Structure 1
Amino acid sequence: MEIRKLTGEDAESYRTLRLEALLKNPESFSSSFEDENGNEAAHYRERLENALTYTFGAFDEDQLVGVVTLVPEGKVKLKHKANIFAMYVTPSQRIRGIGKALVKTAIQQATQLNSVEQIHLTVTSSNEPAKKLYASLGFKAYGIEKNAMRIEGTYYDDNLMVLFL
């Protein structure tokens, strides 16, 4: 398994995995399949080439099987913070430590930015494996956002978590 920062060249692979994530785990993302299905690879190329974000991918041979994005805050008063978004590992590759390796890579990137002192993320309250993963890396829950998302009439709560570096 190889983990590396994704580039614009990875746009089509990223698009495919992103749409899979939105279909298979809609409760884990604020975007929906319907929101993003019309996006062409060029949309994701722009996202991956943004110098202010870091999207890392895990590859099993040449196949993209997992992703995570680290977004440092840009405003002067918030530069001590970064956020983790869009964490996903394809179901056939779970329980291999890929998710943990991806989040560790994002944490390592945050520490290299020097100004980042804390990393925030949200995780669906019912997603026990993800909550355990984040806790194993030192993230602590500090709140719950009730009814954070509504999908087809069902509400989902989010756990708010932080890692102090």
Structure 2
Amino acid sequence: MEIRLLTPSVATNYWALRLEALKNHPEAFLTSYEEAVTRENAVEQTARNFTAEGNYTFGAFDKDELIGVVTLLQEERMKIRHRANIFAMYVTPRSRGLGAGKALMTAAIQKAKDVGGIEQINLNVTANNHRAKQLYIQLGFQEFGLEKNALKIDGVYYDDAYMVLHLNR
């Protein structure tokens, strides 16, 4: 397995994996599959995101197959530029348990340290996603809040846990 910073050349592969994630785990993402498939120029927008300042998307590859992704996005506004956020973390079901998630998160954390000026990384995770929460805790994240009924999908509510990793401690 290899972890790489994604470039526009893999935007199509990324978008296919993103749609898989949204379809298979709607409770884990703010964007719905239905919203995503109707987005105009989605692959082109994804390719632009890969080159945007402060936006770092990593991919886990098994040979040439993209099997997992995570995005680190630094805040832009002056007062919160010391923060970055983790978004769109996903590993294909058949590749889970092989260390791809940990490798992706480790790469994102290292990038935050390398960028300079980032002091903390925030993320939110579906509160009952115990495997993901355990991974984040193992990497040093601490839970600091819980939002009840954060998402509502087909009449079912899901809680979100908010977590933070302080890089300077």
Pick the TM interval, shorter chain.
over 0.9
Provide the identity percentage.
52
Structure 1 CA distance, aligned partners of 2:71 and 2:46? Answer: 13
Structure 2 counterpart of 1:163, from 145, 148, 165: 165
Structure 2 CA distance, aligned partners of 1:74 and 1:162? Answer: 18
Match of 2:85 in 1: 83
Gaps of 5+ in 1: none
Aligned residues: 165
Per-residue deviation, 1:51: 2.4
Asked if 1:50 is matched to 2:49, the reply is: no
Counting only pairs closer than 5 Å after superposition, residues 6-155 of structure 1 correspond to structure 2 as: 6-39=6-39, 40-155=42-157
Per-residue deviation, 1:16: 0.5
Structure 1 CA distance, aligned partners of 2:72 and 2:121? Answer: 9
Q: Structure 1 counterpart of 2:120, which letter?
A: Q
Q: Structure 2 counterpart of 1:107, which letter?
A: I
Per-residue deviation, 1:23: 0.6
Q: CA RMSD in A?
A: 0.8
| SS, match of residue 15 in structure 2 | helix
After superposing on structure 2, the runs of 4+ consecutive aligned residues of structure 1 that deviate more than 6 Å are none
Alpha-carbon displacement from aligned partner over 1:103-133 (angstroms, at most 9, x marks no partner): 0000000001210111000000010000000
| SS, match of residue 108 in structure 1 | helix
Structure 2 CA distance, aligned partners of 1:92 and 1:62? Answer: 15
Structure 1 CA distance, aligned partners of 2:36 and 2:48? Answer: 14
Structure 2 CA distance, aligned partners of 1:162 and 1:43? Answer: 28
TM-score normalised per structure 1? 0.97
